[in-house]
Structure 1
């Protein structure tokens, strides 16, 4: 199977496993989140090792040895993006399976298992973007919205939509539920590699909030800020971020 098919298949399977773990009633709250992280991570690692044994892997839930730096192809995974939301039995969490090739997010699948029937957004299956809203919608963290996002929303007359995980927010833009996702204040490569691959495939702008490119398989796993948006808003948002600056 292709890399994109593999990413989608294992992201969807991990999502089904996570729903089963959540619904069996053995765990609650933080214990549920921990169990989900561990089970999903083990499955994804085993699947990638079986199907792509020569590639590197970077996972939120595994120790990083930097051996990945010797590889041009590195899978970057988040077994449960939004562990808090998963543990609270919300639907705004995700599973990320992304492939970085020479530092660029090339292939990705983002599963949203909590949605009815489960949804998987993929870099190899691109649907036309829905018509944008007349008033731009900015999706932000439900617990700690970025100050830049708040300021940009005020400057452009935007509407704020609070949501959980990074993957859920990024896919809200892909799915036409928002026009802009601007984050600052801390993320890691696994938080956005797969979402960026999917968003780029759908024709969205993806960059750091200063407009610089998003680089993956870097020694430092931190990638603290992110902008995913409709292209018609790119320059205005970047300009406002610079002005806030």
Structure 2
């Protein structure tokens, strides 16, 4: 990704359904480039809170505009937009988090923030892309799934920088795991995809936009994905709140679910 490339603001041609994964990846990447340009203000002394506000707003506006141009019949659920419940009757709903990890985005030098773009079709999560602009990479369901080698090290559990829920600490203790602190939900999930950590368990509550794209990418990469009771996470619900989530290497799923379910 060319961090210096301008972000197109003109309408772009629509994509066919077969190209949804590519569209998600391109949209997440382009929104990430816009955010990188905004973030340059930190280096010139701009107010970090203002940079955060503009990041949330401008990325949301750009994504909604582009989705409307490319997929005019589809619905959109965005963290930064008003929730139109007409989406519940739509066959195709894009779920986006224009800036996941707003706190980290406003801290110079941090890379653990992301852009999420996912698609739910007839109630099923089918497509996802997670851009990590500061790392220059976008992960997508269109990529080749990861082949995992056998676990030969102490398990690593990724946790929030600011909150470490007791169930997750109990899981780390049960596994004799190392704790790794990180920012946004997307950054945590992609760290599991990359193999930098082995488990991402969240029990403090999230919204659908926090996890839809990461879940789609993690599943495509061959990871275990579920709620902490082992059930399937569902998207495009009337209430987009999702209390918990587990993303981990498949061989650790059984023990993780047992401990988290206590």
What's the TM-score, normalizing by structure 1?
0.95
Q: Which SS does the other structure have where 2:179 is aligned?
A: strand
Q: Distance in 2 between matches of 1:82 and 1:145?
A: 16
Question: 1:179 touches 1:230 (CA, 8 Å); kept in 2?
Answer: yes
Select which of 236, 240, 261 maps to 1:221.
Answer: 240
1:124 and 2:142 aligned? yes
* Correspondence for 1:164: 183
1:53 and 2:72 aligned? yes
1:106 and 2:126 aligned? yes
Q: Distance in 1 between matches of 2:240 and 2:200?
A: 21
Range moving further from structure 2, 47-56 or 163-172? 47-56
CA spacing shift, 1:191–1:59, aligned 2, 3 Å: same
1:14 and 2:34 aligned? no
* Correspondence for 2:49: 30
Select which of 150, 174, 179 maps to 2:193.
Answer: 174
Counting matched residue pairs gives 241
Question: 1:130 touches 1:175 (CA, 8 Å); kept in 2?
Answer: no
Range moving further from structure 2, 167-176 or 81-90? 81-90
CA spacing shift, 1:162–1:168, aligned 2, 3 Å: same
Larger Rg: 2
Question: 1:104 touches 1:214 (CA, 8 Å); kept in 2?
Answer: no
Q: Which SS does the other structure have where 2:261 is aligned?
A: helix
Q: Distance in 2 between matches of 1:208 and 1:101?
A: 20
Q: Distance in 1 between matches of 2:181 and 2:45?
A: 30
Structure 1: which 5+ runs fail to align? Answer: none
Question: 2:146 touches 2:193 (CA, 8 Å); kept in 1?
Answer: no
Deviation at 1:73?
Answer: 1.1
Question: 1:108 touches 1:195 (CA, 8 Å); kept in 2?
Answer: yes
Q: Distance in 1 between matches of 2:102 and 2:181?
A: 17
* Displaced runs of 4 or more, over 3 A: 24-27, 129-133
Q: Distance in 2 between matches of 1:194 and 1:212?
A: 18
Select which of 84, 97, 104 maps to 1:65.
Answer: 84
Question: 1:106 touches 1:197 (CA, 8 Å); kept in 2?
Answer: yes
1:150 and 2:169 aligned? yes
Deviation at 1:65?
Answer: 1.7
Structure 2: which 5+ runs fail to align? Answer: 1-14
* Correspondence for 1:233: 252
Question: 1:59 touches 1:190 (CA, 8 Å); kept in 2?
Answer: yes
